[in-house]
Amino acid sequence: MHQSLKYITGYPANLIEQVSGLVESNRFITWFEQRYPDTHQIKSEKALFDYTMQIKQRFMKKTAPITKVVWDSKIHLINNALGLHTYVSRVHGGKLKAKNEIRIASIFKDAPEPLLRMLVVHELAHVREKEHDKGFYQLCCHMEPNYHQLEFDARLFMIYKELMNENAKKR
């Protein structure tokens, strides 16, 4: 089994076999590029913040404000995650101030837009639902009806990036 398949280990065997077949036959990269021919143009942190706020405004107007949304180059290496939501509480002049921050793995700077949207939706859902429970996934699916497919496809994107890096090293 190819090492890049580590991103989908929790999925059903038949899905892993299909992906493995594409990887072993060197067809995965072409298949993925046909599935997602375009990448998003959200490169700056200001653009990422604005993008996130548009989704928040549409679906979660009454939730706590988001103070920061950034690309983070260290995320998936340290936390085995694609994004992080952090909640920081500080005492400021006798009052408790809370800050919600979202960090998206930098590898998604050149991802297809639907995959970025899925990550943003996931992290926004954590503002209201802290645990990965039924309520959390219901909220994710409310904001992005194709959430579960896009979550799987984000893992396929990680395989795609790893295979692209391997190919670049061979040249």
What is residue 92's predicted lDDT score, i.e. its pLDDT?
A: 61
Q: Considering the domain boundaries, does residue 75 fall inside one?
A: yes
Q: Considering the domain boundaries, does residue 28 fall inside one?
A: no
Domain that holds residue 86: 39-170
pTM of the model: 0.88
Q: Tens digit of pLDDT for each residue in 55-99?
A: 999 999 998 889 999 998 887 654 555 665 655 555 666 666 667
Q: Considering the domain boundaries, does residue 45 fall inside one?
A: yes
Q: What is the CATH number of the domain that holds 45?
A: 3.30.2010.10
Domain count, the chain: 1
Gap between the Cα atoms of 160 and 22, Å rounded: 11
SS3 40: coil
What is residue 109's predicted lDDT score, i.e. its pLDDT?
A: 95
